A = this chain, B = another copy of it.
Amino acid sequence: MLIQDASRPGRRAAAQSPSPPTTLPDLPERFRRRRSPALPEVSELQAVRHYTRLSQKNFSIDTQFYPLGSCTMKYNPRACHALAMLPGFLARHPLAPDAHGQGLLACLYELQEIFKEVTGMPAVSLAPAAGAQGEFAGVAMIRAYHQARGDTARTQILVPDAAHGTNPASAVMCGFEVREIPTGADGDVDIAALRERVGPQTAGIMLTNPSTVGVFERGIDAIAATVHEAGGLLYYDGANLNAILGKVRPGDMGFDVIHMNLHKTFSTPHGGGGPGAGPVGVSRRLEPYLPVPIVERTEQGYRWLTERERPTSIGRLTAFGGNIGILLRAYVYARMLGREGMPRVAEYATLNANYLFKRLTEAGFEAAYPRRRASHEFIVTLRREAKELGVTAMDFAKRLLDYGFHAPTTYFPLLVPECLLIEPTETETKEELDGFVEALIKIRDEARTQPELVREAPHSLPVRRLDDVRAARRLDLAWRPTSNDGES
């Protein structure tokens, strides 16, 4: 039942609104709303019960192993939430003076410093509200850099074919043309192809390393040299930073700009799809273009630098300072890890991935890149199972839900057929990984003996498999007061 279906005219959570004012200034008729908006009218208990029960219909890190590749579903420490939600932080208006935000700004400044150190980048801005905004900012800085030099012929951004969809989309949003680079059979970028495509038209290249196929790009030195020699810049998509945190620094690999997904590597909440935060780090030559605001430390204290103090900045990406509360959570997490904790993240994320990789391949599952070391994630292809048993990667994924595991990422990257992209993260136990291996083996057995069981999975969730085609064809995107479809 939708909350709207529980609504009854005149019902109210009466403790939640102020008493009606005794006098009210005039509001001219032409500005007034004629009919009340059809918002739900429910009691406080109804709302609490409805959303508490709704929450129970979710899988989540706090309730299930969630090996969703590329998403780094590791434990989100509860302390990060509690400390970011301290009343002193929550009550501060974004336009309050810096003097009334020294506590906050100290955290943000120190977070900038931590990010500089761990990425090897000399300058950082925390402004981007998500990874994709970080990408936009990064590419916009590349554009600003070339433009400032009068180098206006650079209209192309190179992107590997395995890249996240955000890479080409962000490049286009910045006005660039996208040129794809193929991935070799070993998972590395095809450097010969890169050399063909690079040239005076090249503004830069966007790379994820480890790449989306779950391996470290071994030719990174050659790639960097090739692109730099052609006058292009290197963009590091930090989506997979968890794999190398504190072990290898993007700045040391030759990247000019990087974004970090804090909801991945820095364990901020995924929140059902957000909020993220996508801080960017840059080399010295891109520093003038960093998005605002940036926190500066002066003798008088911390202050926020804006467009005024940073006139060459690519500008402002959101109205205020970005997803501050998420930055605070990342700060708390980074301080709890400390310098010694950062490389451990990469080490144990990689340990868990390689252990799972080994156990699954030993159990007879086919790896997409069997001769490569897994990074923090790896790809299994179920093309044989799909062909021989008629049970697809999606069927395996749905059946895993019945076993109490969230599914890995399916059908990404697009270049591997029937694939599962599996990322266990460092916060899961060996026992949990072993249970997952056993479940996959059992599902393969089921696929052999009772394939319908797998094809029609899940069976134990609040709904059975949903008709996505119907969803797109017969669009039903909102409850309507007049509709009679309140049966859900």
What size tier do the contact residues of chain A reach? 20 to 34
A62 and B75 contact, CB distance less than 8 A: no
For A155, list chain B residues within 8 Å (CB). none
B77 and A43 contact, CB distance less than 8 A: no
B43 and A78 contact, CB distance less than 8 A: no
Q: Closest chain B residue to A53 by CB distance?
A: B63
Q: Closest chain B residue to A48 by CB distance?
A: B62
Whether A336 is near chain B, meaning CB under 8 Å from some CB there, is yes
B77 and A44 contact, CB distance less than 8 A: yes
Known contacts: A15-B77, A427-B45, A429-B46. The answer to whether A62 contacts B56 by CB under 8 A is: no
Q: Contact flags (1/0) for A133-159 with B, using CB distance below 8 Å?
A: 000000000000000000000000000
Whether A366 is near chain B, meaning CB under 8 Å from some CB there, is no
B44 and A62 contact, CB distance less than 8 A: no
A470 to B326, CA, bound (A): 51
Whether A117 is near chain B, meaning CB under 8 Å from some CB there, is no
Q: Closest chain B residue to A15 by CB distance?
A: B336
For A428, list chain B residues within 8 Å (CB). 45
A49 to B405, CA, bound (A): 13
- Tell me how far the C-beta of A47 lies from the nearest C-beta in chain B, rounded to whole angstroms: 10
Known contacts: A15-B336, A79-B15. The answer to whether A62 contacts B46 by CB under 8 A is: no
A427 to B15, CA, bound (A): 13
From residue 51 to 66 of chain A, which have CB atoms closer than 8 A to chain B? 52-53, 56, 61-64
Q: Closest chain B residue to A6 by CB distance?
A: B431
For A44, list chain B residues within 8 Å (CB). 75, 77
Q: Contact flags (1/0) for A282-312 with B, using CB distance below 8 Å?
A: 0000000000000000000000000000000
A53 to B432, CA, bound (A): 15
Q: Closest chain B residue to A65 by CB distance?
A: B49
**Can you report 15 residue pairs joining A to B where beta carbons are below 8 Å apart?**
A8-B429, A11-B429, A15-B336, A43-B427, A43-B429, A44-B75, A44-B77, A45-B74, A45-B75, A46-B429, A48-B78, A49-B63, A49-B64, A52-B62, A52-B63
Interface residues of A (CB under 8 A from B): 6, 8, 11, 15, 43-46, 48-49, 52-53, 56, 61-64, 74-75, 77-79, 336, 427-429, 431
Closest 3 CB pairs of A and B: A45-B75, A52-B62, A45-B427
